[in-house]
Amino acid sequence: MNSSSAVENFPKAAVVETRLSGYDLLLHPGLNKGTAFTEEERDTFALHGLLPPHLGTLEDQLERRMKAFDNQTSSFERYNFMRDLQDSNETLFYALITRNVEKFLPIVYTPTVGEGCQRFSETWLKPRGLFISYPNKNRINQMLADARYDKVRCIVVSDGERILGLGDQGAGGMGIPIGKMALYTALAGVHPEHCLPVLLDVGTDNEERLKDPIYIGWRNKRVRGREYDDFVEAFVSAVKSRWPHILLQWEDFAGSNASRLLERYRDQLCTFNDDIQGTAAVATATVLGAVTATGIPMKEQRIGFLGFGSAGIGIANLLLAAMKESGLSDEEAHKQFYAVDRYGLILEGQTGLRPDQARYAKKKSDLKEWTLSNPEQVSLEDVVRNAKLTVLIGVSSQAGAFTEKIVREMAKHTDRPAIFPLSNPTSKSEAAPADLMKWTNGRALIGTGSPFPPAMIDGKAVEFAQTNNSYIFPGLALGILTSRAKRVSDSMIMAAAKALAALSPTQKNKEASLLPPIADSRQVGLKVAEAVGKQAVAEGLSGVSNEKSFERELREYVWEPVYVPYVRLGD
């Protein structure tokens, strides 16, 4: 991959000034350097005796941590090991991840973070982020006021109700904002001090958690309706008054809340929903990669969805915009989409449809020529056969829903079926990529939500695109922060998608993976940030005066995990 101008010009190391010394300094995860404190710093900060005598370097600490990591025996142990390191020494934590993104991402993030949320109560030990629980609803301002949060510029917030495809995890959902913000820093160089993970604890409807004697959340059924809305409103308004320019990312809210809250707040502050917009951008980039690989123009792609909640709708809306850019009218573009949800193909007149789902409903008359096994409930298999889908997207959390029969049927009608089982974690994937390759004789173009190992096809290792919003949200956040954007527009999301699509290896080789390797995620983050910031400037949504100032801010901002010298501030 070409390195970008932003990558070449990482900022010069700065000196850190601190009042802390002794234990307090070593217990501060943002400042602790462990054995890498120099002899002089040990004098200045009263560290002799608290540290073993060895004068270390980041490099030998990395070697030691890597060894210790490799001695862990399960993914869950590895997750806890990394969480513990993050809470002890952030520089070392991020240095370790950035040295080998492919190795550490599946631990600190999807899929292992899913188990981290399910078993959060077993492991919670140290403060990180803020739990804002319903009984504390009148104390939100007070909780945010702590001087420790003065430098906060971005928040990832969840209410824990739809954690990946694992459903309601209550307060354990905190693992997700923590994991997402770890990627802000690891993949886009956002300063850890600028990040605040937040969990809104409004209770849980997960009976297992409620009955679990060690559950650490608020032991109550979920607060809903008016009370829920008022609580979220109290949170958002407290956040706005504490940090007027904050970036607020919504994560893993359940279906209708996700889109409702986004609509309510997107014109009030700088905010986006990662499951709707981040997932839409990465899916669109992957489809654009498939367009390049197949040579079938966007406007001729026939796209089916299994699962049509907030994520499915978000993806469809962005792909629809891409279809319209390729020359179709709104009506023509809608015809290219087939949305299958719980009750089969979404049809006009179906009860309980949300307006944004109804826009994609088919008329019964559209299906006149179709042969159907059950006209009352049109199955995915019927859709694949009759509509001759070229792209199939799964956001259903139904493991194995892309069956051999469905996939073989799809492969009859198109040379290179593009199949994207996007549900997370791995246990919820609609299909395993090795099976998809087998059932299509190696013709499928594949994108998965969770990481999967490469498959051996005709003696060659084939890599699968990880169509995860981790390619988007870190760079999106960096672009927003450094362009000082006031709002997040649909065009900024589209700019992110196109920046990623431009990096698709299919640009050079039609047989290659649809997305760049995970190992390149940090360069991708910077490219996405550049595109997003430029779009914000072009739309007049940015707080910097022009593109040049934005580029300078981007270059100067990016944080790198290296140790810098410390200077003691007077008391």
Ligand X SMILES: O=C([O-])CC(=O)C(=O)O
Give start and end residues of each alpha helix (H) in 56-100: 58-70, 75-88, 90-99
Instruction: Tell me, by CB under 6 A, how many residues bind ligand X.
Output: 9
Amino acid at 278: G
Active site residue 180: yes
Check residue 469 for interaction with ligand X (CB under 6 A). yes
CA distance 235 to 137: 8
CA distance 357 to 346: 8
CA 404-406-285 angle, to 5 degrees, is 105
Shorter beta-carbon distance to ligand X: residue 61 or 468? 468
Q: Minimum distance from CB of 428 to ligand X (Å)? A: 9
Q: Tokens for 413?
A: 């009608």
What residues numbered 416-435 form the site for ligand X, per CB under 6 A? 424
- In contact, 92 and 34? CB cutoff 8 Å: yes
Amino acid at 193: E
* List 275, 341, 382, 463, residue binding ligand X (CB under 6 A): 275
Q: Minimum distance from CB of 311 to ligand X (Å)? A: 8
Shorter beta-carbon distance to Mg ion: residue 423 or 482? 423
Q: Minimum distance from CB of 247 to Mg ion (Å)? A: 16
Shorter beta-carbon distance to ligand X: residue 293 or 318? 318
The interface partner of residue 90, options being Mg ion, ligand X, none and the CB cut-off 5 to 8 Å by kind, is none
Check residue 249 for interaction with ligand X (CB under 6 A). no
Q: Minimum distance from CB of 310 to ligand X (Å)? A: 10
Check residue 274 for interaction with ligand X (CB under 6 A). yes
Q: Minimum distance from CB of 470 to ligand X (Å)? A: 7
What residues numbered 98-117 form the site for ligand X, per CB under 6 A? 110
Q: Which residue is nearest to ligand X (CB)?
A: 110
* Active-site annotation holder among 33, 180, 362, 527: 180
SS3 156: strand
* List 41, 161, 168, 252, residue binding ligand X (CB under 6 A): 252
Check residue 275 for interaction with Mg ion (CB under 5 A). yes
SS3 351: coil
CA distance 43 to 29: 20
- What count of residues does the chain have? 571
Check residue 159 for interaction with ligand X (CB under 6 A). no
Active site residue 109: yes
- In contact, 291 and 297? CB cutoff 8 Å: yes
Shorter beta-carbon distance to ligand X: residue 311 or 558? 311
Check residue 252 for interaction with Mg ion (CB under 5 A). yes
Check residue 468 for interaction with ligand X (CB under 6 A). yes
Q: Minimum distance from CB of 475 to ligand X (Å)? A: 15
Amino acid at 428: K
* List 156, 164, 323, 499, residue binding ligand X (CB under 6 A): 164
Distance of CA 275 to the CA centre of its chain: 7
Interface stretch with Mg ion, choices 197-205, 270-278, 288-296, 309-317 (CB under 5 A)? 270-278
Peptide bond into 135 cis (omega under 30): no
- In contact, 399 and 429? CB cutoff 8 Å: yes
Give which of 466, 548, 458, 551 is closest to 504, Cα–Cα. 466
* Active-site annotation holder among 79, 109, 184, 471: 109
Amino acid at 562: V
Using the structure block, give the residue that is written with the tokens 């462990």: 34
* Terminal alpha carbon distance of the chain: 49
Binding site for ligand X (CB under 6 A): 110, 164, 252, 274-275, 424, 449, 468-469
Active site residue ranges:
109, 180
Binding site for Mg ion (CB under 5 A): 251-252, 275
